[in-house]
Amino acid sequence: MSDNLSLFELNNEKIENTRILELRKKIIEADTAYYVDAQPLMTDREYDLLMQELIDIEKNNPELITPDSPTQRVGGAPLKEFRQVQHDRPMLSLANTYSREEVEEFDKRIREALGDTQYKYTQELKYDGVAVSLHYENSVLKLALTRGDGITGDDITQNVKTIQSLPIKANDLDINGIPLRNFEVRGEVFMMESDFLRINEQRAEAGEKLFANPRNTTAGTLKLLDSKEVAKRPLSIVIYYIDTQDVKLSNHSDNLEIIKKLGLPISEQTRQAASIDEIFNFINKWEENRHTLPFQIDGIVIKLDSITHQNILGFVARSPRWAIAYKYQAEKAVTQLNGITFQVGRTGVVTPVAELEPIFLAGSTISRATLHNEDYIKERDIRINDFVVIEKGGEVIPKVSAVVLEKRPDDAVLFSFPELCPCGIKHPLVKPEGEANYFCEHPECPWQIRRRIEHFASRNAMYIDGLGEKVVDQLVNLEYIKSVADLYDLHNHRDKLLALERWGEKSVDNLLAAIEQSKKQTLSRFIFAIGIRFIGEGAAKILARTFKNIEALSKATIDDLKSVHEIGEKMAETIVYFFSVPKELEIINRLISYHLNTELTEEETGRDGVLTGQTFVLTGELSSMTRNEAKQKIESFGGKVTGSVSKMTNYVIAGSDAGSKLKKAQQLEVKVLNEEEFIELIEKL
């Protein structure tokens, strides 16, 4: 600060400095409450306002920016390459085993090495993600490294800072009066299955190559050179190791408590074990229940608890002798590929689907699996009649992962992608440059029209009850409806509907009433329902709040759209394109003429946060929606969905086959809703 600053300037700077500290404190508290404790303190809007104020003050006073400011989660220009940094201590991996005998041998080796000493194990889930090492100096996250070759890793600090549940500043913690401020922690970055599915859905729509599983997505994301792109893909982290010179560490289970007190996320599912039987209780429990977790695990890690004991055992090659990973078998099965059919999505994307000899795998019978696109089939040389490997990981859609070449029958048929759309019009398919998918671009392709109408009527869009797949098929086949606008003209054709097979007065009137009712839906549902590529429920909500009516949205330029937080270039382009297509405009104008609501109402703005502060846990299988859909629904009203039940949980939604989480909810007297009650709750909102 220069000496000749006026008193006014000095005061001003002081005020801003105080405000900065206040804002940072509030934001960090809100982050912890939201991401770690699952107890939001404020609405998204309130949070955004605080963050914007902080960004503005820091912009005007760059000298006041510190590395632990929440604004620094996404910062800096894209990198050209990652800096290589040597690990303080090598990052080791674990010896793997798939059998009880090998776990017994592992325990025997430990018993022999420790002689008569009593010892115990800590068991943890083996998260299927990417290992990272994080260095905190003076409690601030200074460096994050990948494992690399174990000796040297990539500096991915900017990318790791985008992980919202990871504090950039750890809590001040004293152990026996000694401050713990400088330490290294190691853990696993991973992606929740629901986030993975959402990202792949977006990629499928954009015609981009799909990620194989959440682990690959995490690895791909951490390797991006632009942290702004990383920030768009929600990553999670769990910490399972700490090392420090500041204080003495004595055993792993205490270390986990220390990590927790530092404010860093640890796994909630750990258990101590003192015998092989106890170890296998835990292994078997999670083998059975792994699909109830919202993320993927590939096994269980068994660690000797005492650090003194760990040091006695030491290392062999590149693995510790004091820990072992028991890995679960990947869930795979082999079956015959009877044929390949095609699906046409609402954007015209044509997806090949494997028609399989039905087979039971990981809890359900599978008769169809995605083949993604032409390249996917070619790369694996998949032929009709081949015996193929089917894989299913967690809730992820089953896929054909490989061919069993030894079993290839003589009548295996090479596959070639059709040149024409499988619909009645048989329009030639096109494969845009740089895209992996074929598209049908005919505006009247009945398959696309069907999918678009189904989407328009779906529960999360205009919610026209009774207008499901079968009814849409029937009405489109008879050419009673050719676009979503025709729905609102159906009441003029009540007689025709009554004449249809299996339709009576009651069902016709119910359908017409539901269509009439849908005219009152909110603007954000309307924007989502009209089916603009890349515009999901979340983006539709933001667009509704920003533009306030459909006319303003239809006139927005690419720049107007891009200036909206969370609307990227691709979305902006597709929105502008959508409103430039005469056929789409005609449909929108007709919808307006039928008096559909296309304005943001006060009621809509007020409803957004009705579930703010409420935490939900989903367990078991829901029949009317996927868990991901249920999660999005809750989040769209400001609620939060977490993976495990605690006293802080407000509701547990229990579908069929709900297991341990339901039990825990009953123990803790948390309110449990069945699927019907849940739908009732959501629909009342």
Residues that bind ligand IVH (CB under 6 A): 92-94, 124, 126-127, 131, 188, 240, 301, 320, 323, 325
Which residue, 240 or 488, has its beta carbon nearer to ligand IVH? 240
Torsion sign (Cα): 49, 52, 58, 60: negative
Residue 299 CB, shortest distance to ligand IVH, in Å, is 8
The CA distance from 154 to 145, in Å, is: 5
- At a CB cut-off of 8 Å and minimum separation 6, what does 612 contact? 40, 42, 43, 637, 638, 639
Give the chain's length.
685
Residue 322 CB, shortest distance to ligand IVH, in Å, is 8
Residues 311, 321: contact at Cβ < 8 Å? Answer: no
Burial (0-12, 13-18, 19+ Cβ within 10 Å), 424? exposed
Which residue, 207 or 299, has its beta carbon nearer to ligand IVH? 299
Which residue, 72 or 267, has its beta carbon nearer to ligand IVH? 267
Residue 214 CB, shortest distance to ligand IVH, in Å, is 13
Which residue, 301 or 543, has its beta carbon nearer to ligand IVH? 301
The CA distance from 10 to 177, in Å, is: 38
Residues 356, 336: contact at Cβ < 8 Å? Answer: yes
Which residue, 34 or 286, has its beta carbon nearer to ligand IVH? 286
| DSSP SS3 for 645 | coil
Reference 359, options 413, 319, 410, 398; nearest CA is 398
* Backbone dihedral region for residue 474 (phi beyond 0: left; psi -120 to 50: alpha; all else: beta): alpha
Query: Which structure tokens are listed for 667?
Result: 């123990």
Angle (deg, nearest 10), helices 214-222 and 193-205: 80
Residue 190 CB, shortest distance to ligand IVH, in Å, is 8
Residue 188 CB, shortest distance to ligand IVH, in Å, is 5
Residues 290, 297: contact at Cβ < 8 Å? Answer: yes
Which residue of the chain is nearest ligand IVH when measured via CB?
131
Which residue, 304 or 323, has its beta carbon nearer to ligand IVH? 323
Residue 291 CB, shortest distance to ligand IVH, in Å, is 18
Cα→Cα distances 413→171, 374, 385, 409, Å: 62, 15, 7, 9
Burial (0-12, 13-18, 19+ Cβ within 10 Å), 101? exposed
DSSP letter at 88 equals: S
Is residue 126 among the annotated active site residues?
Answer: yes
Reference 339, options 375, 390, 382, 373; nearest CA is 382
Type of residue found at 231: A
Residue 501 CB, shortest distance to ligand IVH, in Å, is 57
Residue 132 CB, shortest distance to ligand IVH, in Å, is 8
Chain centre to alpha carbon of residue 416: 34
Beta bridge partners of 180: 173
Choose the catalytic residue: 26, 126, 169, 661: 126
| DSSP SS3 for 431 | coil
Which residue, 69 or 218, has its beta carbon nearer to ligand IVH? 218
| DSSP SS3 for 253 | helix
* Backbone dihedral region for residue 223 (phi beyond 0: left; psi -120 to 50: alpha; all else: beta): alpha
Which residue, 34 or 190, has its beta carbon nearer to ligand IVH? 190
Which residue, 268 or 375, has its beta carbon nearer to ligand IVH? 268
The CA distance from 272 to 275, in Å, is: 10
Which residue, 240 or 547, has its beta carbon nearer to ligand IVH? 240
Residues 571, 534: contact at Cβ < 8 Å? Answer: yes
Query: Which structure tokens are listed for 389?
Result: 């490997």
The torsion angles phi and psi of 496, rounded to 5 degrees, stand at -65, -40
The torsion angles phi and psi of 417, rounded to 5 degrees, stand at -70, 135
Burial (0-12, 13-18, 19+ Cβ within 10 Å), 77? exposed
The CA distance from 360 to 362, in Å, is: 7
Which residue, 90 or 613, has its beta carbon nearer to ligand IVH? 90
Query: Which structure tokens are listed for 301?
Result: 């890690």
Beta strands 332-344 and 349-361, pairing class: antiparallel
DSSP letter at 268 equals: S
Residue 108 CB, shortest distance to ligand IVH, in Å, is 20
Residue 121 CB, shortest distance to ligand IVH, in Å, is 12
Residue 186 CB, shortest distance to ligand IVH, in Å, is 7
Query: Which structure tokens are listed for 35?
Result: 């991401």
Which residue, 119 or 456, has its beta carbon nearer to ligand IVH? 119
Reference 331, options 285, 390, 281; nearest CA is 390
Residue 215 CB, shortest distance to ligand IVH, in Å, is 10
Residues 366, 390: contact at Cβ < 8 Å? Answer: yes
Enzyme catalytic residues: 126
